[in-house]
Amino acid sequence: MLVAERRELLLTRLSSEGKIIAADVARELGISEDSIRRDLRDLAAAGHCQRVYGGAVPVSRALVDYRSRASVEPESKRRIAARAVQLIKPGDRVILDGGTTTLAVVHALPADLEATIITHSPTIAAALIEHPSVEILLLGGRIYKHSAVACGAAAAEAARAITGDLFLLGVTGVHAEQGLTTGDAEEAAMKRTLAAQAADTYVLASAEKIGAVSPYLVLTLDAITAIITDASPGSTALQALQRTAPAVMLAA
């Protein structure tokens, strides 16, 4: 089998099964495991997969800048936002992560909702200004332009001074084995800090994030309350997640 054919097979396997175990593929093809590892290394360098111990998993398509993400699966984000808003009760203190899915949550809030929204995203805060009865608390710090959120020591210190009833968390990868991941180490640390300040953490994950992995771990699945997603119930990645996550809430 030619190298190009072998790599095409690896991508097909990754798409259909949601992961590649290098030792299994090497044994199946009758070649060395080192050859498969080299293939995976080159495919990862080209952005086609995310290497993990023993093999590879799908790379998240959400690792693009904020402006580009705004046009990715807008209907999916609206469905998830509609489900997430049902969790917010009058008087709640809600920590909202940055991102385009949480921005959809802002747009879905009832006009008569009285609550406090705490966020490290200037974009989220600005979108809430016109809401008549929501109090806004914006956490400051160095702005990470890729995601338009505050990160770093000042932002983390501000976050540790607040508490919330629930945290609506956005990530770029949700995987049954690798957990919740994102593309930047400082942003991952900030998300962990915010999660530690909330009684409950709900992950907002559109279908393309389910089964995907990004470079930096945010939280393991046992650290959250539930995942809200609109992934197809027949999805292999979703079924694996339902076996490992505390709860999965489907957004219709």
Map out the domains of the chain as residue ranges: 3-57, 66-250
Q: Could you tell me if residue 31 is left (phi over 0), alpha (psi between -120 and 50 degrees) or otherwise beta?
A: beta
Q: Which of the given ranges, 36-45, 92-101, 142-151, has the highest pLDDT on average? A: 92-101
Residue 142 clears pLDDT 80, i.e. is over it: yes
- When pLDDT is averaged across residues 3-9 and rounded to a whole number, the result is 86
> DSSP letters of 178-217?
TEEEES-HHHHHHHHHHHHTEEEEEEEE-GGGBT-B-SEE
Which SS3 state, helix, strand or coil, does residue 137 take? Answer: strand
Residue-wise pLDDT for 170-186, tens only, equals 999 999 999 999 989 99
pLDDT grade for 230, boundaries at 50, 70 and 90: very high
CA distance 156 to 91: 24
Average pLDDT value over all residues in the chain: 91
Residue 143 clears pLDDT 80, i.e. is over it: yes
Q: What is the DSSP letter of 59?
A: B
Contact 14, 50 (CB under 8 A): no
pTM: 0.79
Residue 115 clears pLDDT 60, i.e. is over it: yes
Lowest mean pLDDT among 3-12, 71-80, 105-114, 195-204: 71-80
Fold classification of 66-250 is Rossmann fold (3.40.50)
From the options 1.20.1260.10, 1.10.10.10, 1.20.1440.230, 1.10.3720.10, give the CATH code of 3-57.
Answer: 1.10.10.10
Residue-wise pLDDT for 44-103, tens only, equals 888 888 888 888 888 776 655 555 555 566 899 999 999 999 999 999 999 999 999 999
- When pLDDT is averaged across residues 20-24 and rounded to a whole number, the result is 89
